[in-house]
Structure 1
């Protein structure tokens, strides 16, 4: 049955935190609609009906594509286990599912000033480093103090989205912000640049960021758009 394959997939697959979070959601959807089937009963026709059902429920084509990507990953692993011989997702015609358009949203320096002023004290340095370095959220929040090279004025990133280490130059503003964080009298001992009172890594500032955007009057703006803002500036 599909649920057994999904359970084993999550036990054995090596996934990035963001992918894992997305796949957990996709897994629940697929289990609800296809969980009564054995893997060899899931065919191209079955998947076409699955797509139709998802479309009727009002979800976007991009969401359906993510569902199918998850299923494809499960079938690929099931093939390695010897449970199935083929991956039916690869045979499905996906032309009817439109690709999502890439976002190019960014804000001006004036808008960023409003956002910064509306942010909480904990969020402020995160915002500054996001627009001064162009780091992705996961890279930024997972940044360790050992990755900071003050002499060369750069960050040494080992864990990246592409799994390729890279170096990121630091502007004067970025250096000032980092030093300010490390020199806080109340700062606990921690290997993370952004940390909680107990030294553990800071969590996702989703609510704080949304609140700051609302107070600053900035609409349709996501945290990742700070990376676009860095590129624009």
Structure 2
């Protein structure tokens, strides 16, 4: 219940409610006092008392970002990219906003600004991270926001899924440059990626101890989904891995003695040199090798569940973006079927 008293030249508003801290504040006009009291009562209806309101007033978005970066991010796979995104957030004007003044409008404006700079998928990932940060603050840090400010933000539709296949001349050019480069691991990394469809991080964690040459399988212990998987190997992959046995680390059996960044730099140098004689390869990314491998699995006649076993996709619908089959190959299959009828 709110009460109002005129003291000296000011109006004092006081809100009392059972189970909540009494809130008192003075204003120059009664209208301001009434507006404040209504706000406090609305907050009380949502479970926010004076002490919690003070926390919101004295805490900025940047403090939440820094706490999440220091306490939560280090325990995640992909922490480096998450730290980079949080660094981007900290440079925004809304990072200095106190939590009691947060609005969905500010983050909707941020979304629109970022869409002018980066692709929709990047914006989706950034908004998803912000939503997770505020959810953690609300659910685990007892920050009594009335709602997650990202909840009302419309996520952009992702329209940047790549449809990039690797042509034979491009592969030959890349492999030629990889063999001639100063990075001894690059040629094998390209070939093994094409034969297995492993992600870059999974590829660099391949250990000879995880290869079963008798069964032609490879255990992938560290994955994007956090769950290990056992994948079948092609004959070419088995031959390649056998040839790499002598180069395995004596302690952990790792086959690639390089960091993700070293692989990235080696790939960029190789691609740049290859583009001099084959200009179309200039836009080919290392991750596109995984896309190419998965597309080839489908072209070999594997079913979606079989490809998912190799690729590690939990959502089978995601595999449809990889199934850019060659229409000429499909036509050949159709004609073969009619010829055999």
TM range (shorter): 0.7 to 0.9
Superposed CA offset, 1:93-121 (max 9, x none): 33xx3413211212123421221111133
Matches within 5 A, 1:99-138: 99-119=158-178, 120=181, 121-138=184-201
1:140 shift after superposition = 0.6
1:209 paired to 2:209: no
Give the length in aligned residue pairs: 222
1:55 shift after superposition = 4.8
1:78 paired to 2:134: no
1:39 shift after superposition = 2.8
Greater RCO, CA 8 A, separation 6+: 1
5+ residue gaps, structure 2: 1-59, 276-280, 297-341
Match of 2:151 among 79, 84, 90: 90
Matches within 5 A, 1:62-77: 62-77=121-136
Superposed CA offset, 1:44-88 (max 9, x none): 1222233344456x3444333332122111101101211133211
User: Residue 47 of structure 1 aligns with which residue?
Assistant: 107
Please tell me whether the aligned partners of residues 185 and 256 of structure 2 are also in contact (alpha carbons under 8 angstroms).
no
1:152 paired to 2:210: no
Match of 1:143 among 206, 218, 228: 206
Match of 1:11 among 43, 60, 70: 70
> Superposition RMSD on alpha carbons, in Å?
2.1
User: Residue 219 of structure 1 aligns with which residue?
Assistant: 282
Q: Distance in 2 between matches of 1:115 and 1:55?
A: 33
1:195 shift after superposition = 3.9
Q: Distance in 1 between matches of 2:193 and 2:185?
A: 13
Match of 1:21 among 80, 97, 105: 80
1:179 paired to 2:242: yes
Local SS of the residue matching 1:101: coil
Q: Distance in 2 between matches of 1:29 and 1:202?
A: 24
Q: Which is greater in Rg?
A: 2
Please tell me whether the aligned partners of residues 143 and 194 of structure 1 are also in contact (alpha carbons under 8 angstroms).
yes
User: Residue 338 of structure 2 aligns with which residue?
Assistant: none
5+ residue gaps, structure 1: none
Q: Distance in 1 between matches of 2:205 and 2:170?
A: 26
1:149 shift after superposition = 1.2
Q: Distance in 1 between matches of 2:265 and 2:204?
A: 15
1:192 shift after superposition = 4.2
User: Higher mean Cα deviation, 160-169 or 146-155?
Assistant: 160-169
Local SS of the residue matching 2:214: coil
Q: Distance in 2 between matches of 1:39 and 1:147?
A: 49
1:229 paired to 2:292: yes
